[in-house]
Amino acid sequence: SQKIEQNSEALNIQEGKTATLTCNYTNYSPAYLQWYRQDPGRGPVFLLLIRENEKEKRKERLKVTFDTTLKQSLFHITASQPADSATYLCALPYTGTASKLTFGTGTRLQVTL
């Protein structure tokens, strides 16, 4: 069955450092992958989409990579700030069903001063 794995343990880093979150998937051949941010008590908010033919995508301090051979995406936040503290979710479409977006369990990021 299709499975998405994110590190369930919280990631604690110091302000100014680069945070790197991992999303691994199995039994998928997704055409794209998305990353969302979720704050406590709020709905997820879309951050970035990367397609299978793109190795890397950037948006301000965010960078996403997509390795279809390793079946892995890395999500980087450079010069992290306490305001970046949140849970980050990766999401992939079920194979052949673009409208059926499946989410990983998310990784909680805590950025401290």
Partner 1 sequence: DTAVSQTPKYLVTQMGNDKSIKCEQNLGHDTMYWYKQDSKKFLKIMFSYNNKELIINETVPNRFSPKSPDKAHLNLHINSLELGDSAVYFCASSQDSRNTGELFFGEGSRLTVL
Q: Which residues bind partner 1 (CB under 8 A)?
A: 31-32, 34, 36, 41-46, 49, 51, 87, 89, 91, 93, 97-103, 105-106
Q: Show the CA angle centred on residue 26, arms to residues 4 and 32, nearest 5°.
A: 70
Q: In this complex, which beta carbon is closest to partner 1, that of residue 80 or of residue 107?
A: 107
Report in angstroms how near the CB of residue 71 gets to partner 1 at its nearest: 18
Structure tokens at 91: 């999401």
Phi/psi-derived region of residue 27, left when phi > 0, alpha when psi is between -120 and 50, beta in every other case: left
Report in angstroms how near the CB of residue 107 gets to partner 1 at its nearest: 10
Q: In this complex, which beta carbon is closest to partner 1, that of residue 6 or of residue 80?
A: 6
Q: In this complex, which beta carbon is closest to partner 1, that of residue 27 or of residue 99?
A: 99
Report in angstroms how near the CB of residue 16 gets to partner 1 at its nearest: 28
Q: In this complex, which beta carbon is closest to partner 1, that of residue 10 or of residue 70?
A: 10
Q: How many other C-beta atoms lie within 10 A of the C-beta of residue 43?
A: 7
User: What is the rounded distance in angstroms from the CA atom of residue 10 to the CA atom of residue 7?
Assistant: 8
Structure tokens at 16: 């100014």
Report in angstroms how near the CB of residue 99 gets to partner 1 at its nearest: 4
Per-residue CA distances from 40 to 37, 52, 70, 84 (Å): 10, 31, 31, 12
